Chains A and B, each alone.
Chain A
Amino acid sequence: MSAKLKWLLPIAGAALMALTSVAIAKDITLSFYYPIAVGGPIPKIIDGYVADFEKENPGITIKAIYAGTYQDTLVKALTAFKSGEPPDVAVLLSTDMFTLIDEDAIAPFDDLLKTDADKAWAKSFYPAFMANSQTGGKIWGIPFQRSTIVMYWNKDAFKAAGLDPDKAPDTWDELVANGKKLVQREASGNVSQWAIEIPSSGFPYWLFQGLTTANDVQLMNAAGTQTAFDKPGVTGALQFWVDLNKKDSIHPPGVIEWGTTPKDFFEKKTAMIWTTTGNLTNVRKNAPFPFGVAMLPAHQGRGSPTGGGNFYFFKKMSDDERAAAFKFVKWMTTPERAADWGIQTGYVAVRPDAWDTDAMKKYVADFPAAAVARDQLKYAVAELSTHDNQRVTKALNDGIQAALTGTKTPEQAMKDAQAEAVRILRSYQ
Chain B
Amino acid sequence: MMHGPEPAALVSVAATPPPRLQFSAQIHGWLLLLPAAVLLVTFTHYPAVATIIDSFFSTPKGRRAAVFVGADNYQAMLGDPVFWRALGNNIVYAASVIPLTIALSLAMAIWVNGKIAGRPFLRLSFFTPTVLPMIAVANIWLFFYAPGYGLLDQMLGLFGIPAHNWLGSQSTALLCLIAVAVWKDAGFFMIFYLAALQQMSPQLAEAAAIEGAGRWYVFRRITFPLLMPTTLFVLINAIINSFRLIDHIVVMTQGGPDNTTALLLFYIYEVGFKFWDTAYAATLTVVLLALLAIVALGQFLILDRRIHYQ
Question: Once the chains are docked, how many angstroms separate the CA of A388 from the CA of B276?
Answer: 9
Which of the segments B4-12, B198-206, B254-262 contacts the partner chain? B254-262
A418 within 8 A of B: no
Q: A135 to nearest B CB, angstroms?
A: 15
Question: Once the chains are docked, how many angstroms separate the CA of A300 from the CA of B169?
Answer: 31
Question: Once the chains are docked, how many angstroms separate the CA of A192 from the CA of B154?
Answer: 12
Q: Is the CB of A255 within 8 A of B165?
A: yes
B interface residues, tally (CB under 8 Å): 31
Chain B residue at minimal CB-CB distance from A266: B149
Residues of chain B within 8 A of A402, CB atoms compared: 257-258
Which residues of A come within 8 Å of B, CB atoms?
71, 75, 78, 99, 102-105, 188-192, 200-202, 252-257, 259-260, 263-264, 267, 269, 388, 390-391, 394, 397-399, 401-402, 404-405, 407
B147 within 8 A of A: yes
Q: Is the CB of B146 within 8 A of A202?
A: no
Q: Is the CB of B256 within 8 A of A201?
A: yes
Selected contact of A255 from candidates B157, B256, B273, B276, CB within 8 Å: B256
B63 within 8 A of A: yes
Chain A residue at minimal CB-CB distance from B277: A391
Q: Is the CB of B62 within 8 A of A398?
A: no
Q: Is the CB of B162 within 8 A of A257?
A: no
B306 within 8 A of A: no
Complex A-B: 5 CB contacts under 8 Å: A103-B61, A255-B167, A264-B148, A269-B147, A394-B275
B308 within 8 A of A: no
B77 within 8 A of A: no
Question: Once the chains are docked, how many angstroms separate the CA of A286 from the CA of B307?
Answer: 58
Q: Is the CB of B146 within 8 A of A104?
A: no
B contacts with A: majority SS? loop
Q: Is the CB of A405 within 8 A of B259?
A: no
Q: Is the CB of B275 within 8 A of A391?
A: yes
Given contacts A192-B148, A257-B167, 7 further A-B contacts (CB under 8 A): A105-B62, A254-B169, A259-B142, A264-B149, A390-B275, A394-B275, A405-B257
Question: Once the chains are docked, how many angstroms separate the CA of A142 from the CA of B170?
Answer: 40
Residues of chain B within 8 A of A75, CB atoms compared: 273
B305 within 8 A of A: no
Question: Once the chains are docked, how many angstroms separate the CA of A269 from the CA of B153?
Answer: 13
Q: Is the CB of A253 within 8 A of B169?
A: yes
Question: Once the chains are docked, how many angstroms separate the CA of A156 from the CA of B191?
Answer: 52
Q: Is the CB of A254 within 8 A of B148?
A: no
Chain A residue at minimal CB-CB distance from B165: A254
Q: Is the CB of A394 within 8 A of B270?
A: yes
| A264 touching B169 in the complex, CB below 8 Å, given contacts A99-B276, A398-B259 | no
Chain B residue at minimal CB-CB distance from A101: B62
B253 within 8 A of A: yes
Question: Once the chains are docked, how many angstroms separate the CA of A104 from the CA of B142?
Answer: 39
Residues of chain A within 8 A of B165, CB atoms compared: 252-256
B87 within 8 A of A: no
Q: Is the CB of B143 within 8 A of A263?
A: yes
Q: Is the CB of B169 within 8 A of A257?
A: no
B160 within 8 A of A: yes
Contact with A along B153-185 (1 / 0, CB 8 A): 000010010110101111000000000000000
Question: Once the chains are docked, how many angstroms separate the CA of A147 from the CA of B259?
Answer: 28
Question: Once the chains are docked, how many angstroms separate the CA of A71 from the CA of B275?
Answer: 11
B20 within 8 A of A: no
Residues of chain B within 8 A of A202, CB atoms compared: 254, 256
- Tell me the residues in window 175-228 of chain B with beta carbons closer than 8 Å to chain A beta carbons: none
Selected contact of B148 from candidates A103, A105, A267, CB within 8 Å: A267
Residues of chain B within 8 A of A253, CB atoms compared: 165, 168-169
Q: A402 to nearest B CB, angstroms?
A: 4
Question: Once the chains are docked, how many angstroms separate the CA of A78 from the CA of B274?
Answer: 11
Q: Is the CB of B258 within 8 A of A407?
A: yes
Residues of chain B within 8 A of A263, CB atoms compared: 143, 146
Q: Is the CB of B163 within 8 A of A71?
A: no
Selected contact of A191 from candidates B163, B258, B277, CB within 8 Å: B163
Question: Once the chains are docked, how many angstroms separate the CA of A116 from the CA of B162?
Answer: 65
Q: Is the CB of B148 within 8 A of A390?
A: no
| A401 touching B61 in the complex, CB below 8 Å, given contacts A255-B167, A390-B274 | no
Q: B66 to nearest A CB, angstroms?
A: 12
Question: Once the chains are docked, how many angstroms separate the CA of A104 from the CA of B64?
Answer: 10
Residues of chain B within 8 A of A267, CB atoms compared: 148-149
Residues of chain A within 8 A of B167, CB atoms compared: 201, 255, 257
Chain B residue at minimal CB-CB distance from A203: B254
| A405 touching B148 in the complex, CB below 8 Å, given contacts A188-B162, A254-B168 | no
Selected contact of B253 from candidates A201, A252, A269, CB within 8 Å: A201
| A257 touching B146 in the complex, CB below 8 Å, given contacts A103-B276, A201-B253, A202-B254 | yes
Q: Is the CB of B143 within 8 A of A260?
A: yes
Selected contact of B258 from candidates A264, A391, A401, CB within 8 Å: A401
Residues of chain B within 8 A of A192, CB atoms compared: 148
Residues of chain B within 8 A of A397, CB atoms compared: 256
Which of A192, A254, A264, A402 neighbours the largest number of chain B CB atoms within 10 Å of its CB?
A254
Chain B residue at minimal CB-CB distance from A259: B142
Question: Once the chains are docked, how many angstroms separate the CA of A158 from the CA of B291?
Answer: 56
Q: B165 to nearest A CB, angstroms?
A: 4
Which of A257, A388, A401 neighbours the largest number of chain B CB atoms within 10 Å of its CB?
A257
Residues of chain A within 8 A of B62, CB atoms compared: 102-105
